[in-house]
Structure 1
Amino acid sequence: MDKKFEAYLFDLNGTIIDDMQFHAKAWFEILTKDLGAGITYDQTVLQMYGKNQELLERVFGEGYFTQQQIDDLSIEKEKRYQAAFKPHLKLIDGLGVFLEKAYHEGIKMAIGSAAIPFNIDFVLDNLNLRKYFPVVVSADDVMLSKPHPETFTKGADILGVEYSKCLVFEDAPKGVEAAKNAGMQAVALTTLHTPGDFAVKDNVIGFVKNYDGLDLFRI
């Protein structure tokens, strides 16, 4: 086996599960109907990176909400998302086979996500993925969100793998940019964005719709 990559670092939403439309709908309803933001659905999608607090601050400005209000809005959004998405909860096509092969070949794996633990646990526990991902880096584990590289470098550090030997799986332009800033190559999932949405893509070794037919030995 080609050992060019010793570790795979996966984003979660839109990369392991195809749920970004559900996140977008939940955010759009809260931002517009609950909070009265003059923002379109497409503009909402563009703001969906980083921590929940950062999204709210980008839309409304810093200091607009108290920390308690931010925390409450964040949990309310995630509750709405989970309630709507749970009947559809499944791995992106082909990922189950891909993960099992990687696990069998001894490739180290981690989650590197801007999601809060409440959402990460929702996915990992309901889909029984814990054995594949002994390392999880969430929004609560980093000071700086993507496109800062900390999410991925911290995951690599815990796994004990050099950054250049880590391959990132991402669906978001800011996530691919974070991978580049970490000195890592990436595979980009086109679950929400098209290749044209990625301003940074010189570190992308491939754009894929799902994991069907993705050859572990030829990435």
Structure 2
Amino acid sequence: MKYKAFLFDMNGTMIDDMPYHIQAWHRILNELGAGISIERMKEECYGKNDELLERIFPGRFSPEEKKKMSWEKEKQYQDSFRPHLRLLDGLAEVLAKAKKDGIKMAIGSAAIMFNIDFVVDELQIRKYFDALISADEVRISKPDPETFLVCAEKLGVAPENCLVFEDSPKGVEAAARAGMDCAVITSLHEKEDFDGISNIVRFMKDYTAFSW
């Protein structure tokens, strides 16, 4: 196998939590008068929280206000999702085997570290990862390739030797721009949503059939 590192997006890729993020944002933004549908919210739910707020309400909120709303949203998300928090089927086995085989692993997510810590510590999987890259560690989030390039740099692995696991078209685009292959988890999007992206090596609903 040519891959020396596995890079995981987190939300929707390791855990099936994207509906909880979408619902939390949908509630908060519509209370502020956004008037957007769940389908529109699904499309907008990518990147850093302040980037999302700026797309919906350009120029309306100060950095301090956006930070406060971001924390409120994350607390709502964690409270609602905690009872359902678990790894996607087969992922625990993949993490254990990859660690045993000497494959380096990192999480590269647009989530803030508060949420990454929530997931890796609640699930007790921190031991598997050599790097955790959050929104706080990059200037521009996906589809910019910076997140995955920083992961590769931290692991000391060339981009072409990294396999990315993603669930969103924006994330897969980021992997492609980083020069990395990608395995797509179809937890939120259908195969058709990824038309025209050439770095995809496989689609899978979870990790039960993934092997190397």
Please classify the TM superposition score into its range, dividing by the shorter chain length. Answer: over 0.9
Question: In 2, Cα distance between the equivalents of 1:88 and 1:134?
Answer: 26
Matched with 2:185 is 189
Asked whether 1:35 is paired with 2:21, we answer: no
Matched with 1:52 is 49
| Secondary structure, counterpart of 1:186 in structure 2 | strand
Q: TM-score scaled to structure 1, two decimals?
A: 0.95
Asked whether 1:172 is paired with 2:168, we answer: yes
| Secondary structure, counterpart of 2:126 in structure 1 | coil
Asked whether 1:144 is paired with 2:166, we answer: no
How far residue 201 of structure 1 moved from its aligned partner, in angstroms, is: 2.4
Asked whether 1:94 is paired with 2:105, we answer: no
Whether the aligned pair in 1 keeps the contact of 2:130 and 2:155 (CA below 8 Å) is no
Deviations 1:113-149 (A, max 9, x none): 0000110000010001111112011000000111110
| Secondary structure, counterpart of 1:131 in structure 2 | helix
Question: In 1, Cα distance between the equivalents of 2:127 and 2:50?
Answer: 30
Structure 2 stretches lacking a partner, 5+ long: none
Give the partner amino acid of 1:74: S
2:106 pairs, out of 105, 110, 120, with 110
Question: In 1, Cα distance between the equivalents of 2:130 and 2:180?
Answer: 20
Whether the aligned pair in 2 keeps the contact of 1:177 and 1:200 (CA below 8 Å) is no
**Pairing 1:67-82 to 2, within 5 Å after superposition:** 67-82=63-78
Question: In 2, Cα distance between the equivalents of 1:23 and 1:46?
Answer: 12
Structure 1 stretches lacking a partner, 5+ long: none
Asked whether 1:20 is paired with 2:18, we answer: yes
Root mean square deviation of aligned Cα? 0.8
Identity of aligned pairs, percent? 54
How far residue 38 of structure 1 moved from its aligned partner, in angstroms, is: 1.7
Question: In 2, Cα distance between the equivalents of 1:133 and 1:73?
Answer: 30
Count of paired positions: 212
Whether the aligned pair in 2 keeps the contact of 1:173 and 1:199 (CA below 8 Å) is no
How far residue 57 of structure 1 moved from its aligned partner, in angstroms, is: 0.6
| Secondary structure, counterpart of 2:13 in structure 1 | coil
Question: In 1, Cα distance between the equivalents of 2:196 and 2:93?
Answer: 29
| Secondary structure, counterpart of 1:16 in structure 2 | coil
**Pairing 1:146-165 to 2, within 5 Å after superposition:** 146-165=142-161
Give the partner amino acid of 1:25: Q
Matched with 1:5 is 3
Q: Runs of 4 or more off by more than 6 Å in structure 1?
A: none
Q: TM-score scaled to structure 2, two decimals?
A: 0.98
